[in-house]
Amino acid sequence: MDIKKIMVIGAGQMGGGIAQVCAQAGFDVKLNDIKEESYAKGLAVITKNLSRNVEKGRMTEDEKSAVLGRITKSLDLQDASDVDIVIEAAVENMDIKKSIFAKLDEIAPQHAILASNTSSLPITEIAAATKRPEQVIGMHFMNPVPVMKLVEIIRGLATADDVYKAVEDMTVKLSKTPVEVNDFPGFVANRILMPMINEAIYTLYEGVATEQAIDEVMKLGMNHPMGPLQLADFIGLDTCLYIMETLHEGFGDSKYRPCPLLRKYVKAGWLGKKSGRGFYVYE
C-alpha cells in the first residue's frame, strides 16, 4: 500500500507536530480541526518551528515555503474522502475517538488506513466503532513530535499485517523509529513512565522531599534530562491523571492508583505549564 495523501485530525500540540513532520517528509497533508482559530493557532506554531529551522541553517526559506505549501486547511471530516491514511490526534477521550472513527469509516476511501495517536486507549475498542477493524492501528508519536524519534505502532486485535507494514514504512519516511507494541493499556511508554511520575507525586505527597529535590535526584542520579514532576507539568497533570485512571481501570491493580495529590491539583485547575501552575509556577 502506497501512502501519499494524509489527513491529521486535531491541530493542537500533537496534531500540528504530526502534520509538520509529514509535510517535511514530502507528503500532502490536510490538517483538520473543528475550529478555524484552532487551525490558525496550529499553523502558526508549525510556521514558528520551521522559521527556527531556517534561522539555525537546517533548511532554506524555499524549503520552509514548500513544507507549508503541502499543508492544507480542513474544517470538515468530509475532506477525508480522498486520503490514504487518517491520523487522529483529538482529545484523549474514548467516546470522542469512537465517534470520529465511526464517521471516518463512512467517509474515507475503502483502502484508507485509520490511525490514532492515542497515548493509552485501546486500539481494539476504537477499531470496533468501524467496519474495517483490520485497517485501524495506533501511531503514538512522542511530544514534541518534530524532535522525538520514537513512534509506538500499536496493533489492534484485528490489525492486518500489510496495514502494519505500510504504517511502519511511512514512519521510517518521517525519519522516525517505529517500535511494534501490542494493545494493552498504556502500551509501553506510558505504562512505564506514568507510574514513575505517580510515584514521584506520592514521594512529594508523603513529605519525603521537595519538588526540586525529587527532580534533582532523578536528573543527577538517573541521568534523566528532566525531573518527573517537571515532566508531569509539561505533559499536563490532567493528561497524567487520565492515563493513570486508564491503567488502573484496565489492569484493576492498586499499583496504578492515582496519587490523591495529583487529583487535588487537577481539581484546583493546576494543570502544569499550560495553566501557569502545577508542581511549579510558570510566568
31, pLDDT greater than 90: yes
Q: Are residues 131 and 265 in the same domain?
A: no
Average pLDDT in the 183-192 region?
A: 96
> pTM higher than 0.75, yes or no?
yes
Last residue of a domain, one of 153, 182, 211: 182
Q: Are residues 41 and 160 in the same domain?
A: yes
2, pLDDT greater than 90: no
Average pLDDT in the 142-170 region?
A: 97
Q: Domain total for the chain?
A: 2
CATH of the domain at 16: 3.40.50.720
226, pLDDT greater than 90: yes
Q: Identify the H or E element spanning 180.
A: strand 177-182
Distance between CA atoms of 148 and 129, rounded to whole angstroms?
30
pLDDT at 222: 97
CATH of the domain at 238: 1.10.1040.10
105 domain-assigned = yes
Distance between CA atoms of 100 and 186, rounded to whole angstroms?
21
Q: Are residues 38 and 149 in the same domain?
A: yes
What's the pLDDT band for 1 if we cut at 50, 70, 90? Answer: confident
Q: Are residues 117 and 97 in the same domain?
A: yes
**Mind telling me the catalytic residues?**
119, 140, 152, 190
Q: Are residues 163 and 202 in the same domain?
A: no
Last residue of a domain, one of 182, 208, 230: 182
Q: Are residues 26 and 116 in the same domain?
A: yes
Q: How far is CA 157 from CA 116, 134, 184, 247, in A?
A: 15, 8, 10, 19
Q: Are residues 92 and 123 in the same domain?
A: yes
Q: What is the mean pLDDT of the chain?
A: 97
Average pLDDT in the 14-22 region?
A: 98
Domain carrying residue 222:
190-275
Average pLDDT in the 243-271 region?
A: 97
List of residues 6+ apart from 103 with CB closer than 8 A: 77
Last residue of a domain, one of 123, 156, 182: 182
Q: Are residues 239 and 117 in the same domain?
A: no
282 domain-assigned = no
283 domain-assigned = no
Cell of 241: 491523571
Average pLDDT in the 180-190 region?
A: 96
Q: Are residues 177 and 199 in the same domain?
A: no
Q: How far is CA 87 from CA 32, 90, 128, 152, 154, in A?
A: 10, 9, 17, 13, 13
Cell of 244: 493513570
Half-sphere exposure at residue 269, Cβ-oriented, CA atoms within 13 angstroms: 2
Question: Comparing C-alpha atoms, which of 83, 75, 67, 76 is closest to residue 26?
Answer: 67
